[in-house]
Amino acid sequence: MPRAGERTHFGNENVLLEDKQGRVNDVFHSVSGRYDLMNDLMSGGLHRAWKDVLVSAVNPPKSDRNLAVLDLAGGTGDIAFRILRAGGAGTRVTVCDINADMLDVGRDRASERNFAGSVNFDQGNAEDLAYADRSFDCVTIAFGIRNVPRIEHALAEAYRVLKTGGRFLCLEFSSVDVPGFDALYELYSFQVIPRIGGVVTGNREAYQYLVESIRKFPRPKPFARMIEGAGFRRVSFTTMTGGVVALHSGWRL
């Protein structure tokens, strides 16, 4: 439980920890219908290549061998559908997201794509998962962990629900490490993305928050230490596109 009066960042604001989740929910409620379109516009389509790297790391079997995947904060189903397309008949994905609007989008898309029998959509909090210990072979989260108020709680829960030998994979925005490109990326993030968000979704403030949340997120090495602190072993990360994103990996051994 958070300590009374404990505070955290919400974009540039300093807010009570217990208030952050509601503020984040409001952001995603407002953009849920066009969230994946905005991902295309913001990244120039690069988010698709980044997510392909994540799915390759999951490496779902193409046979009927069972693989149970938990995808956190993946309400629209984008990661789940990619895993299912890459895997065989034995691959099953459970999507857990705290936002009901995002889950509604995912359920509709699952029906349209004939994935309804292979994926479940559950409303839940990544900090307090309703699943039994050692329930999943793999836990994934893509561009969602920075929106969790207590990241260490979510990492501990991911560890708890993983089977021994299971893998945690986290795709998240990172810190650009190429001189010159870092300034351009900063300009694009803080000047262009909120304007695109305002035009496409009608909510510029939501995308101002999202880019601010990237700036506040730990750099790869400190975040890797947080993953190790949750109990994971063989922790590693790989940066992509000059450090724009990083894929973090850890195993429950």
Average pLDDT of every residue of the chain: 85
pLDDT tens-digit map of 125-154: 999 999 999 999 999 999 999 888 899 999
β-pairing, 67-72 with 119-123?
Answer: unpaired
Whether the predicted model's global pTM rises above the 0.85 cut: no
Give the pLDDT confidence score for residue 10 in this predicted structure. Answer: 46
pLDDT in tens, 194-205: 787 777 667 777
Buried residues in 209-247 as b, exposed as e (16+ CB within 10 A): bbbbbbeebbebeebbebbeebbbeebebeeebbbbbbb
What average pLDDT does this structure show over 82-101? Answer: 96
What is the mean predicted confidence (pLDDT) over 180-200? 75
Would you state the pLDDT for residue 58?
A: 98
Pick the CATH number of 7-251 from 3.40.50.150, 3.20.20.80, 3.30.70.20, 3.40.50.720: 3.40.50.150
Q: Is 183's pLDDT higher than 70?
A: yes
- At 25, the pLDDT band (50, 70, 90 cuts) reads low
Residue 215: pLDDT band with limits 50, 70, 90: confident
Q: What is the 3-state secondary structure (H, E, C) of 88-139?
A: CCCEEEEEEECCHHHHHHHHHHHHHCCCCCCEEEEECECCECCCCCCCEEEE
Please check whether residue 42 is in contact with residue 110, taking contact to mean a CB–CB distance below 8 angstroms. no
The predicted pLDDT at position 51 comes to: 94
Of 183 and 66, the one with more pLDDT? 66
Residue 28, CA distances (Å) to 32, 44, 194, 223 in order: 6, 21, 14, 24
Mean pLDDT calculated for residue range 61-73: 97
Phi, psi of 179 (to 5 degrees): -55, 135
